[in-house]
Amino acid sequence: MIKVLIDADACPVKDEAIEVAGRYGAEAVLVSNGGMRPSRYPDARIVTVPEGPDAADDWIVEAIEAGDVVVTADIPLAARALEKSAAALGPTGREFTPESIGTALSMRAFKQHLRETGESKGYNASFTNADRSRFLQSLDQILRRPPVRN
């Protein structure tokens, strides 16, 4: 069974990911450092990992199988998912691919450098309804693809 693993701590599209996963018979798994109310997400498995840097990311990477989908805004986690032949999708509907991940990692490092030097305040764009719609469409397309075989 395909899993949709959601890096849930700051994910604005948890409900949408669970709904789309359910339509395709995929297991939805919310992974967080805590604070998730199971009653709010009855159609998902909730995994709480210990506090610590990258604990949720590490759990997700260990659980990934080829063909699964990882929903995350964390670019290094997306890269790790791609290495395991999983799909990686950002909450704005941007799919990370083997062709695009290098550029995304480079831009992340560049923006971090700008923040560290004070050249940028690090403000992120607001999450919009168009982002939500693009996410729903992208996740639907990913889950319609033929299964990945390794």
**What CATH number is associated with residue 36?**
3.40.50
Task: Tell me if 81 is assigned to some domain.
Answer: yes
Burial class (CB in 10 A: 0-12, 13-18, 19+), 61: middle
Task: Tell me if 150 is assigned to some domain.
Answer: no
Task: Tell me if 149 is assigned to some domain.
Answer: no
Task: Tell me if 137 is assigned to some domain.
Answer: yes
pTM, rounded to two decimals: 0.84
Average pLDDT over the chain, rounded to an integer: 87
User: Two tokens at 63?
Assistant: 């659980």
DSSP result, 97-142: -TTTHHHHHHHHHHHHHHHHHTS---PPPPP-HHHHHHHHHHHHHH
10 neighbors 133 (Cβ within 8 angstroms): no
Task: Tell me if 57 is assigned to some domain.
Answer: yes
Task: Tell me if 30 is assigned to some domain.
Answer: yes
How many structural domains is the chain composed of? Answer: 1
Query: By residue range, what is the domain housing residue 83?
Result: 3-144
d(CA 28, CA 70): 10
Average pLDDT on 87-111 reads 78
What's the pLDDT tens digit per position in 108-127? 565 665 666 776 666 667 89
Instruction: State the CB neighbour count (10 A cutoff) for residue 66.
Output: 13
Select the more confidently predicted residue: 102 or 136: 136
Task: Tell me if 43 is assigned to some domain.
Answer: yes
Angstrom CA distances, 114 to 98, 117, 118, 133, stand at 25, 5, 6, 31
User: How high is the pLDDT of residue 31?
Assistant: 96
Q: Which of 17-31, 41-55, 85-99, 111-125 has the highest mean pLDDT?
A: 17-31
User: How high is the pLDDT of residue 134?
Assistant: 96
- Place 100 in a pLDDT band, splitting at 50, 70 and 90: confident
Task: Tell me if 124 is assigned to some domain.
Answer: yes
Select the more confidently predicted residue: 103 or 75: 75
